[in-house]
């Protein structure tokens, strides 16, 4: 890393607040992303392909379920170490971090938190290794911000339950072997079901019209009288709070991940301003460009501080979900603004995938929306402080 990149990376000396293990884990993921992802990210994004051949290597790297106990394939790392892994993955591409977020924070966590011992033993070690891929079906065509309005049902019948409904915008839907599907039972209670994606009546259709998250597989899921056994039910799940608890995990990862995307944009833009000549001097030597770069740095430092303290709250067990909402809201929006500023500083080159800002900016439009939109998180935090539900 050049001196300027290193200076930008840690302008506030926050590395001194990390443990040696956390630094080592972060740097291992960074090396992987530098070698395997960065050289190809623009092409994969443009072509709309996810590098599935790297899934086993990602498993070896330990990015799937790293906070889980070793018996389930995790390594019991700190919340901050998990966050820093997400930061480095998203420095490569938000789609890569999404893949890991869904696998870890959504599908694996759902099984870990709400599943039986048998389900945990059956799925988690293989998911940690990347041998089994999971997706998480909460959003529906007519229920996104308000998942409690879902229409998918799970009725008693056949070997256990019969599922009917549709899910939309499901990350990893077409590459998953199992789908954690959230559905209402006969009493209208939301529960989770682990559905093998080769079940008769289950189908996934990839959404190919995305101008964002192009390196990520996003799908619609259809459940047409899908019969699953008793063992598919996540027995401890009960009510909307069950899937929402999984979202807390993934939102935590986004609070860190977005720092990576923002740093990548800022570093590339800063270097560009030093070599791009206009009116006989580098544009870095103009006051307005310096102001822009410093605005970006300031935003990044704010994001880093929020993410790090969130990590420490996670580890202490004191973290509350409205705190996660504030960090997800501000860091997703912060990274999006940094990416847009970086794109602008690159002028015409800024719109090309030969440079990183446009790709990150396009991805971050999704990150700003999924896992709860900016408005939803504003209302979660507003409700927490003011005690009034304004949804
Ligand atoms: P509400 O009354 O607020 O909550 C129902 C119960 O759940 C509890 N709860 C939570 N628990 C843990 N973590 C959270 N984040 C929680 N939020 C709420 C709550 O305490 C309550 O418990 P109890 O015991 O009192 O019943 O329910 P509501 O219907 O008013 O919910 C409103 C709202 C907006 C908070 C919620 O529905 C919401 O968060 N909406 C946004 C939906 C969303 O984020 N969807 C994401 C889908 S997954 C995705 O996008 C994956 S992207 C891929 C990637 O991550 O990379
Ligand atoms: P809507 O809920 O229709 O919202 C539309 C607009 O209305 C938004 O601006 C919203 O903020 C605003 N709005 C809604 N209610 C209010 C209110 N009360 N006050 C003010 N404004 C309001 N979901 C999954 O379950 N699993 C996944 O793996 C997954 N992956 C995704 C991947 C991608 C690429 C994308 C784009 C989405 C993914 N999602 C996934 C879905 C995502 O979580 C939803 O898109 C998101 O929660 C918003 O829901 P919606 O799209 O239905 O928007």
CA of 22 to the centre of ligand 2 (A): 33
pLDDT of 40 strictly over 70 = yes
C-alpha to C-alpha distance for 81 and 59, rounded to whole angstroms = 16
Ligand 2 atom 5: residue of nearest CA: 145
C-alpha to C-alpha distance for 288 and 295, rounded to whole angstroms = 10
pLDDT digits (tens, 9 = 90+) for 279-304: 999 999 999 999 999 999 999 999 99
Residue range 308-317: average pLDDT?
Answer: 98
C-alpha to C-alpha distance for 77 and 62, rounded to whole angstroms = 10
Closest to 140 (Cα-Cα) out of 108, 164, 166: 166
Catalytic residue, chosen from 365, 371, 375, 388, is: 371
pLDDT digits (tens, 9 = 90+) for 179-192: 999 999 999 999 99
CA of 192 to the centre of ligand 1 (A): 14
Closest to 307 (Cα-Cα) out of 293, 292, 294, 319: 319
Ligand 1 site, residue 245, Cβ cutoff 6 A: yes
Residue entry with tokens 């011992």? 117
Whole-prediction pTM value?
0.98
Cross-strand bridge partners of residue 153: 164, 184
Cross-strand bridge partners of residue 191: 183
The three-state secondary structure class of 55 is helix
The two three-digit tokens of residue 359, written as one number: 């790709």
* The pLDDT of residue 146: 98
Q: CA separation (Å) from 304 to 12, 16, 133, 258, 260?
A: 9, 13, 30, 9, 9
pLDDT digits (tens, 9 = 90+) for 359-379: 999 999 999 999 999 999 999
For residue 170, give the ligand nearest its CA.
2
User: Which stretch of DSSP H or E encloses residue 180?
Assistant: strand 178-184
Please, are residues 322 and 380 in contact by the beta-carbon 8 Å criterion? yes
The three-state secondary structure class of 65 is coil
pLDDT digits (tens, 9 = 90+) for 329-361: 999 999 999 999 999 999 999 999 999 999 999
User: Which stretch of DSSP H or E encloses residue 43?
Assistant: helix 41-47
Ligand 2 pocket by Cβ (under 6 Å): 102, 136-139, 144-145, 169-171, 213, 218, 366, 369-373, 375-376, 391
Cβ atoms within 10 Å of 186's Cβ, excluding its own: 9
- Determine how β-strand 134-137 pairs with β-strand 178-184: parallel
Please, are residues 99 and 231 in contact by the beta-carbon 8 Å criterion? no
C-alpha to C-alpha distance for 114 and 236, rounded to whole angstroms = 5
pLDDT digits (tens, 9 = 90+) for 190-241: 999 999 999 999 999 999 999 999 999 999 999 999 999 999 999 999 999 9
Give the chain's mean pLDDT: 98
pLDDT of 309 strictly over 70 = yes
Q: Quote the DSSP letter at residue 387.
A: -
Cβ atoms within 10 Å of 342's Cβ, excluding its own: 28
CA of 206 to the centre of ligand 1 (A): 25
CA of 70 to the centre of ligand 1 (A): 28
Ligand 1 site, residue 104, Cβ cutoff 6 A: no
C-alpha to C-alpha distance for 296 and 274, rounded to whole angstroms = 16
- In this prediction, what percent of the chain has a pLDDT beyond 90? 99
Ligand 2 atom 26: residue of nearest CA: 170
Q: Which atom of ligand 2 is nearest to the CA of 375?
A: 11
CA of 26 to the centre of ligand 1 (A): 29
Q: Which atom of ligand 1 is nearest to the CA of 321?
A: 15
Q: What angle do CA 319, 324, 326 make, to 5 degrees?
A: 130
Question: Which of 239, 240, 245, 251 should be mutated for ligand 1, with most atoms under 8 A from CB?
Answer: 240
Question: Which of 247, 257, 389 should be mutated for ligand 1, with most atoms under 8 A from CB?
Answer: 247
Phi, psi of 214 (to 5 degrees): -75, -20
Please, are residues 65 and 103 in contact by the beta-carbon 8 Å criterion? yes
Ligand 1 atom 31: residue of nearest CA: 146
Ligand 1 site, residue 183, Cβ cutoff 6 A: no
Please, are residues 219 and 173 in contact by the beta-carbon 8 Å criterion? yes
Greatest distance between any 2 Cα atoms in the chain: 77
pLDDT digits (tens, 9 = 90+) for 83-136: 999 999 999 999 999 999 999 999 999 999 999 999 999 999 999 999 999 999
Question: Which of 137, 144, 197 should be mutated for ligand 2, with most atoms under 8 A from CB?
Answer: 144
Decide if 231 is catalytic. Answer: no
Ligand 1 site, residue 102, Cβ cutoff 6 A: yes
pLDDT band (50, 70, 90) for residue 2: confident
pLDDT band (50, 70, 90) for residue 8: very high
CA of 229 to the centre of ligand 2 (A): 31
C-alpha to C-alpha distance for 55 and 48, rounded to whole angstroms = 17
Q: Which atom of ligand 1 is nearest to the CA of 366?
A: 52
Residue 348 CB contacts under 8 Å (≥ 6 apart), including other chains: none
* The pLDDT of residue 1: 65
CA of 93 to the centre of ligand 2 (A): 21
For residue 104, give the ligand nearest its CA.
1
């Amino acid at each position: 890393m050049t001196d300027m990149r290193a200076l930008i990376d840690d302008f506030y000396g926050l590395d001194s607040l990390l443990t040696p293990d956390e630094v080592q884990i972060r740097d291992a993921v960074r090396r992987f992303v530098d070698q395997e992802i960065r050289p190809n990210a623009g092409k994969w994004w443009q072509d709309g392909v996810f590098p599935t051949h790297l899934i086993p290597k990602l498993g070896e790297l330990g990015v799937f379920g790293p906070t889980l106990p070793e018996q389930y394939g995790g390594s019991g790392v700190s919340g901050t170490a998990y966050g820093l892994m997400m930061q480095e993955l998203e420095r490569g591409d938000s789609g890569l971090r999404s893949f890991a977020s869904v696998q870890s924070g959504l599908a694996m966590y759902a099984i870990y938190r709400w599943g039986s011992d048998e389900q945990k033993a059956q799925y988690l070690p293989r998911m940690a290794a990347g041998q089994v891929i999971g997706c998480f079906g909460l959003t529906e065509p007519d229920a996104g911000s308000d998942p409690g309005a879902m229409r998918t049902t799970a009725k008693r019948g056949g070997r256990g339950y019969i599922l009917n409904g549709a899910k939309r915008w499901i990350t990893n839907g077409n590459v998953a072997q199992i789908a954690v599907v959230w559905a209402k039972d006969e009493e209208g209670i939301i529960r989770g079901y682990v559905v093998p994606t080769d079940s008769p009546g289950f189908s996934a259709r990839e959404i190919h019209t995305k101008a964002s998250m192009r390196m990520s597989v996003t799908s619609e899921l259809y459940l047409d009288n899908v019969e699953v056994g008793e063992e598919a039910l996540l027995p401890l799940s009960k009510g909307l709070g069950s899937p929402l608890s999984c979202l807390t995990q993934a939102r935590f990862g986004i609070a860190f991940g977005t720092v990576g995307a923002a740093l990548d944009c800022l570093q590339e833009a800063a270097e560009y301003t030093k070599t791009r000549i206009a009116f006989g001097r580098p544009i870095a030597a103009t006051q307005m460009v310096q102001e822009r770069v410093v605005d970006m740095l300031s935003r990044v430092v704010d994001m880093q501080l929020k993410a790090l303290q969130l990590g420490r709250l996670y580890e202490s067990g004191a973290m509350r979900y409205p705190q996660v909402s504030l960090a997800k809201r501000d860091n997703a929006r912060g990274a999006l603004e940094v990416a847009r500023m970086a794109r602008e500083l690159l002028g015409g080159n800024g719109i090309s995938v030969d440079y990183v800002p446009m790709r990150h900016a396009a991805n971050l439009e999704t990150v700003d929306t999924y896992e709860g939109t900016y408005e939803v998180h504003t209302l979660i935090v507003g409700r927490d402080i003011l005690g009034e539900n304004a949804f």
